[in-house]
Each structure stands twice: as structure tokens, then as C-alpha cells.
């Protein structure tokens, strides 16, 4: 019988807790936004969402699934001991929700009349992030289909990190908004880009560390 309880090391739980925390603010903001849309309360700030609710509703629901399911896909112990769940969640929850997050994000980017502070630069950044997220997810799927599990993991880390820029952007914008007030167009662009760039850098550091750890383990074996 292999029904012994799974011991997940504390640092893995800490990783999942950190990722869930990172997701929490945009997810809660999204839930509040859904509530406002359901009430049909149209203000200058919400008119684009109320007038065309489909992409934002798809975006927020899929972001919820993507960010929360994704937080647990990266725990090595759960992945090894519950490989079937990992495969099920990846195939039927994470990849589909990731595709919907990115496509609905690109859709809103093209269709919504954004506030003046969200200028052309931010539209270009959002376009690049949406397309790269789709490309990274595709690379993750192609690699797992070919049995290249390490590459699969690396591409999934990249896709998750980039999409989750939405969480890091709270950290890269809030302190400045509190200190200096609402940003102008350039400051807003820098605050948003900082979230995506920071996440992309952290993803590359994690991927390189994993490669190094494997090389060390192989050398010692
Ligand atoms: C591929 C990655 C993503 C792209 C390209 C993207 C793009 C966008 C765009 C264009 C908007 C509309 C902004 C507006 O009209 O003011 C938006 C809104 C939003 N996104 Fe994303 N997004 C992505 C990922 C995520 C993720 C992973 C989350 C949550 C964890 C998230 C949470 C939200 C929320 C809550 C809103 C509503 C903002 C509001 O109410 O003002 N997004 N996103």
C-alpha cells in the first residue's frame, strides 16, 4: 500500500504560499471587478468592462484557475507523488486557463478604450507579454509531448512567471502610488514593465539553479 501521508517539505509549502499570496491581490481585485460588472455600475473607470464584459469575465475567471492551480504544479514532492494529478491539472486546467488568460488579455488590449495613462508603450508591452505567454505554454506542451521533461518544466516556469507579472505589478506600483500619487504615462509604463521583467529574471535564475543542481547531483552520483 502506498497510502502513507505525503510529507511536503516546509520550503515547498512556503513556495506555494508565496505564489498564492502573489496571485491573491489581482485575483481579489478581479473578483471585485466582476461584482461591479454584475451590478452594471458604469462609471468612467468601469465603462469599458460593463460595455463589453465577455473578455474581462473570461480573463478574471481563467486568471483565478491559472494562478491558484499553477502555484501547486511547481512543488516537486506533489509532482512526483501525484504525477497523475500533475498531468490532469496541466492538461485540463493550467494550459487551457493560461491560453484563455493570454488571449482575453490580448483581446482587451486590442478592443478596450484604455484610460489615457495606459499609453501605446503599455499596449505594446501587454501585446508582447500575451504573445510570449502563449509561445512559452506551447513550448511547454511540445516538450512534454516529446518526453523532454526538464525543458517542459523550464518553459512552464517562464509562462507562469510572465503571466503572474500581474501580481508583481502590485508590488512595483503600489509603493510609488502611495509615496507620489497616481503615475503619469511613463511612470505607469515603468511600474508595469518592472513587474514583468522582474518575474522573467526570477524565472531564469530558478531555471539556471535547477540545471546547476542537476549537474552537481550527476557529478556526485
Ligand atoms: C498573459 C498575461 C496577461 C495579459 C496580457 C493581461 C492583460 C490584461 C489587460 C489588457 C487588461 C485590461 C486592463 C484595463 O482595461 O484596464 C487586464 C485586466 C486585468 N487582469 Fe490581466 N493580463 C494577463 C494576466 C493576468 C493574470 C495572470 C492575472 C491574475 C492573476 C490578471 C488579472 C487581471 C485583472 C484583475 C484585471 C482587471 C483590472 C481592473 O479591474 O482594472 N491578468 N489584463
Q: Whose CA is nearest to atom 38 of ligand 1?
A: 30
Closest Cα partner for 17 from 63, 55, 74, 86?
A: 74
Q: Which of 19, 37, 59 to mutate to test the pocket of ligand 1 (most atoms within 8 A of CB)?
A: 59
Structural domain including 145 reads 10-220
Q: Is residue 65 part of a domain?
A: yes
Provide mean pLDDT across the span 44-71.
94
Q: Which pLDDT does position 92 carry in this prediction? A: 98
Q: Whose CA is nearest to atom 34 of ligand 1?
A: 30
The neighbour count for residue 91, using CB atoms within 10 Å, is 12
Q: What is the pLDDT of residues 174-198, one digit of tens each?
A: 999 999 999 999 999 999 999 999 9
Confidence (pTM): 0.93
Q: Is residue 4 part of a domain?
A: no
- Residue 108 CB–ligand 1 contact under 6 Å: yes
For residue 221, pLDDT beyond 80? no
For residue 45, pLDDT beyond 90? no
Q: What is the pLDDT of residues 89-104, one digit of tens each?
A: 999 999 999 999 999 9
Q: Is residue 184 part of a domain?
A: yes
Q: Is residue 1 part of a domain?
A: no
Provide mean pLDDT across the span 169-174.
95
Q: Which pLDDT does position 160 carry in this prediction? A: 98
Amino acid at each position: 500500500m502506498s497510502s502513507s501521508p505525503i510529507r511536503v517539505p516546509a520550503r515547498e509549502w512556503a513556495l506555494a504560499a508565496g505564489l498564492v499570496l502573489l496571485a491573491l491581490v489581482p485575483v481579489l481585485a478581479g473578483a471585485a471587478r466582476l461584482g461591479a460588472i454584475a451590478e452594471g455600475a458604469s462609471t468612467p473607470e468601469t465603462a469599458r468592462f460593463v460595455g463589453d464584459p465577455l473578455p474581462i469575465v473570461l480573463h478574471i475567471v481563467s486568471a483565478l484557475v491559472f494562478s491558484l492551480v499553477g502555484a501547486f504544479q511547481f512543488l516537486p514532492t506533489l509532482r512526483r507523488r501525484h504525477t497523475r494529478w500533475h498531468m490532469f491539472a496541466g492538461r485540463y486546467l493550467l494550459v487551457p486557463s493560461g491560453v484563455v488568460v493570454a488571449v482575453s488579455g490580448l483581446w482587451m488590449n486590442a478592443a478596450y478604450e484604455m484610460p489615457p495613462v495606459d499609453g501605446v508603450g503599455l499596449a505594446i508591452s501587454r501585446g508582447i507579454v500575451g504573445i510570449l505567454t502563449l509561445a512559452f505554454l506551447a513550448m511547454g506542451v511540445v516538450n512534454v509531448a516529446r518526453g523532454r521533461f526538464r525543458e517542459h518544466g523550464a518553459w512552464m516556469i517562464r509562462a507562469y512567471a510572465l503571466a503572474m507579472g500581474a501580481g508583481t505589478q502590485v508590488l512595483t506600483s503600489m509603493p510609488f502610488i502611495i509615496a507620489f500619487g497616481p503615475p503619469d504615462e511613463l511612470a505607469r509604463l515603468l511600474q508595469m514593465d518592472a513587474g514583468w521583467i522582474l518575474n522573467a529574471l526570477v524565472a531564469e535564475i530558478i531555471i539556471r539553479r535547477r540545471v546547476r543542481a542537476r549537474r552537481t547531483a550527476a557529478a556526485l552520483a
